[in-house]
């Protein structure tokens, strides 16, 4: 008899994520990273850590207040995590258990579905719609789904993988409804730097609001694994009990301190990336590929020959992401691929290949 019998069935039937490999040397436009933002000066600073950084357990007393100042919230409202994925896992473990029902306007970042299924939580997905070439948040249907017995609401704003933002007045309606039901509203703001969203202004009034953020996108630190949760201190006090000791490593702390010391530089780079994304939109559209404008660093593109386009780009070592079978997306992403904004140099190359 195998000891596997002791493992939960929901884990045995789940599929582990296998990240793509052999990407070095390619133009990486597939995972919404920010591969061109860290210049030589910044990389030199990030590499300059001393023996204390490598041989001692990490300390967070310098980074945490810097993150709080950047987010515009009190220090006690910040908890550092090993990437936002870690924050997602902690929050879902904190609030939800087997048999709970959670409302998930869909599609959103696939990691949420993965963890909820393993926890045997019931997912009530409410599908986004499409209208006049835009993805539309399903406000009416979401509000209708929020009723007695529901244990939480999970949002991505801006949405991942669709890229659009929830109108602020609609977000406030959702805050009011979840507050009335006394359940958590969890909002993933991984792409906030590229958009106008910022839920921190509602923290003082809505104690049920939990915000997840990352250094992977705007700051180009995907490989460092650094994120943070913003919430009421009482929630973070309980969440931190679930953390592994020193789950954020010292090198990530050093990198976070470094990039937060260069905010004007990153704001300038974000504006440049937005401009390049607009140019990318034109490059793709003029070649007959349908594109959706987004509030992120990526575009969603659809074309009947999307597999051929992906294949030809791969042959030229340009990686894009096939999202045509994204979970809980219905037909919204039929024949679709996702492509994030390249560097200026790589945009010219991409244009020539297309």
Of 61, 94, 58, which Cα lies nearest the Cα of 231?
94
Residues 189 and 226 in one domain: yes
Residues 100 and 235 in one domain: yes
Residues 128 and 222 in one domain: yes
DSSP helix, strand, coil percent of the chain (3-state; round to 5): 40, 15, 40
Contact criterion met (CB below 8 Å) for 284 and 299: yes
Q: Is the pLDDT of residue 239 over 90?
A: yes
Residues 346 and 216 in one domain: no
pLDDT for 91-146, tens place per residue?
999 999 999 999 999 999 999 999 999 999 999 999 999 998 899 999 999 999 99
Q: Which of 226, 260, 294 is the last residue of a domain?
A: 260
In this prediction, residue 49 carries a pLDDT of 85
Residues 28 and 120 in one domain: no
DSSP string of 319-333, one letter each residue? E-EE-TT-TT-TTTT
312 within domain boundaries: yes
Q: Is 308 exposed, middle or buried (0-12, 13-18, 19+ CB in 10 A)?
A: exposed
Cis amide bond preceding 328, omega within 30: no
pLDDT for 281-316, tens place per residue?
999 999 999 999 999 999 999 999 999 999 999 999
Structure tokens at 97: 């258990």
DSSP string of 169-186, one letter each residue? HHHHHHHHHHHHHT--EE
Residues 324 and 292 in one domain: yes
Beta bridge partners of 212: 188, 229
pLDDT for 182-235, tens place per residue?
999 999 999 999 999 999 999 999 999 999 999 999 999 999 999 999 999 999
Q: Please state the domain count of the chain.
A: 2
315 within domain boundaries: yes
Q: Give the start-end residues of each E strand in the chain.
A: 27-28, 78-81, 101-106, 122-127, 129-131, 134-136, 152-156, 185-188, 209-214, 227-230, 290-292, 298-302, 318-319, 321-322, 336-340
Out of 219-223, 238-242, 274-278, 350-354, pick the least confident: 350-354
Q: Which of 260, 279, 297 is the last residue of a domain?
A: 260
List phi, psi (to 5°) of 272: -65, -40
Residues 235 and 135 in one domain: yes
Percent residues over pLDDT 90 in the chain: 95
Residues 213 and 161 in one domain: yes
Q: Which of 237, 260, 283 is the last residue of a domain?
A: 260
Exposure on the CB side of residue 302, measured as CA atoms within 13 A: 12
12 within domain boundaries: no
Residues 116 and 230 in one domain: yes
Q: Is the pLDDT of residue 1 over 80?
A: no
Of 119, 117, 95, 112, which Cα lies nearest the Cα of 182?
95
Of 196, 252, 206, 260, which Cα lies nearest the Cα of 230?
206
Domain, as residue range, for 269: 19-40+263-353
Q: Is the pLDDT of residue 19 over 90?
A: no
End-to-end CA distance of the chain: 56
pTM of the model: 0.96
pLDDT-derived band at 164, boundaries 50, 70, 90: very high
Residues 207 and 150 in one domain: yes
């Amino acid at each position: 008899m195998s000891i596997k019998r002791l493992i939960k069935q929901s884990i045995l039937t789940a599929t582990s994520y296998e990240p793509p490999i052999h990407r070095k040397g390619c133009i990486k436009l597939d995972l919404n990273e920010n591969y061109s933002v860290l210049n030589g000066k910044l990389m030199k600073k990030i590499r300059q850590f001393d023996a204390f950084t490598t041989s001692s357990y990490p300390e967070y007393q310098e980074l945490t207040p810097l993150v709080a100042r950047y987010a515009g919230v009190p220090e006690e409202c910040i908890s550092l995590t090993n990437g936002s994925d870690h924050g997602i896992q902690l929050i879902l473990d904190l609030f939800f258990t087997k048999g709970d029902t959670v409302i998930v306007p869909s599609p959103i970042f696939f990691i949420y579905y993965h963890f909820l299924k393993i926890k045997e939580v019931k997912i009530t997905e409410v599908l986004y719609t499409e209208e006049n070439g835009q993805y539309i948040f399903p406000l009416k249907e979401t509000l209708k789904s929020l009723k007695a017995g529901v244990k939480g609401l999970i949002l991505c704003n801006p949405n991942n993988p669709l890229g659009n933002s929830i109108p602020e007045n609609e977000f406030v309606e959702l805050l009011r409804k979840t507050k009335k039901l006394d359940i958590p509203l969890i909002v993933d703001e991984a792409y906030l730097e590229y958009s106008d969203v910022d839920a921190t202004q509602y923290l003082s009034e809505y104690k049920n609001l939990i915000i997840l953020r990352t250094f992977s996108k705007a700051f180009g630190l995907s490989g460092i694994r650094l994120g943070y949760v913003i919430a009421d201190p009482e929630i973070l006090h309980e969440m931190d009990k679930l953390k592994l000791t020193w789950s954020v490593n010292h090198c990530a702390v050093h990198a976070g301190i470094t990039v937060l010391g260069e905010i004007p530089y990153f704001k300038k780079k974000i504006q440049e990336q937005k401009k390049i994304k607009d140019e990318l939109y034109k490059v793709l559209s003029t070649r007959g590929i349908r594109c959706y404008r987004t509030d992120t660093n990526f575009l969603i593109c659809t074309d009947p020959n999307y597999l051929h386009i992906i294949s030809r780009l791969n042959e030229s070592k340009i990686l894009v992401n096939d999202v045509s079978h994204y979970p809980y997306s219905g037909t919204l992403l039929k024949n679709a691929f996702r492509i994030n904004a390249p560097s200026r140099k790589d945009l010219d190359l991409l244009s020539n290949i297309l």
